[in-house]
Structure 1
């Protein structure tokens, strides 16, 4: 069905996007209507967005893709996209996909507006955008991936897209280069990895062996349940340290590095 999507720009810089109707389904057929409104709002510089999901009874992969796409666009410019009024089924889907740790979830749109306004009163969009630019200046791209030395010992490698027989060699070269330069405490952030085949999995395993050979450690950030399942079915979930987000993975390796070198 075609969704009816309305929006309201608030004076506090927050735009509330409302999906209207009875028992709406956000799927491949209806999600483009929401995408159109989100893109239009972002194009007008509205980077603080709340999507009121109270009329939505279910959402599929395409619907989630539109929401994630909107979040990435505003986050890249220092903004935020929160979800309000999600029902129990929606919250379960978000929890299963680990997206409940990515989106801000609010009971109502009014609650979301209050909390986001308070949050951005402390740190503005401009400040957050400047932080992103500064962070980008310290990230070195390599073969489509990138890495950042977040401390004297810990390096975060951001792995992007499919890691398969065609692309895995780029990741292998990057890991070899880092280890050869003494970076043996590695966090592999696989948040944006869409697909991991046996070749890509082999590169990750060989990376772990390589850092261990130099008394190092590796931690993986794997929020996607499909990819996490690979580590469970192979039994290697007992070998790798898996995390849902980057921060605890960095903290873990920081402690490991201190324990070894202290």
Structure 2
């Protein structure tokens, strides 16, 4: 399956990245190509909406770790929102839910 990536600039310093499909070894490079440049913008706030992502493997997790590292380097902010339970479980198993900002919704509180 493919991954659809739709980047919406809400404000000059805030973007929402809507994802749909599967994040795996085949699609993760496209996600990284879209996400990392956003994270390298000083003081950028990026919310990644994972509501339509039904599968992710370790390559996808690695992409989000790379994005998190870039966000710290460039003082930007990465938030993951609307994560389906089976994908959220990957973040919990690996402990990434402890270091990443994961929220129930774009406007809502934390999980």
Cα offset, 1:172, TM superposition: 0.3
Shift of 1:242: 1.1
1:209 aligns with 2:66: no
RMSD: 2.0
2:88 is the counterpart of 1:242: no
Partner residue in 2 for 1:188: 48
Which of 224, 227, 242 does residue 87 from structure 2 map onto?
Answer: 227
For residues 27-55 of structure 1, the C-alpha deviation after alignment (integer angstroms, 9 at most, x for no partner) is xxxxxxxxxxxxxxxxxxxxxxxxxxxxx
Question: How far 1:177 sits from its partner (Å)?
Answer: 2.6
- Structure 2 residue runs without a partner (length 5+): none
More strand by share: 2
Contact 1:219 1:240 in 2 (8 A): yes
Shift of 1:205: 1.0
CA distance in 1, matches of 2:101, 2:49: 12
Runs of 4+ residues over 6 Å off in structure 1: none
Residue 18 of structure 2 corresponds to residue 158 of structure 1: yes
TM-score (norm 1): 0.38
Structure number with higher relative contact order (C-alpha < 8 Å, ≥ 6 residues apart)? 2
| 1:223 Cα deviation from its structure 2 partner | 3.4
Tell me the TM-score normalized by structure 2: 0.85
Larger-Rg structure: 1
Aligned length: 108
Given that 1:157 and 1:188 are in contact with CA atoms closer than 8 Å, whether structure 2 keeps it comes out as: yes
Superposed counterparts of 1:5-44, under 5 Å: none
Where structure 1 has 5 or more consecutive residues not aligned to the other structure, the ranges are: 1-142, 253-262
CA contact (8 A) 1:158 1:188 kept: yes
Distance 1:159 1:183 in 2: 22
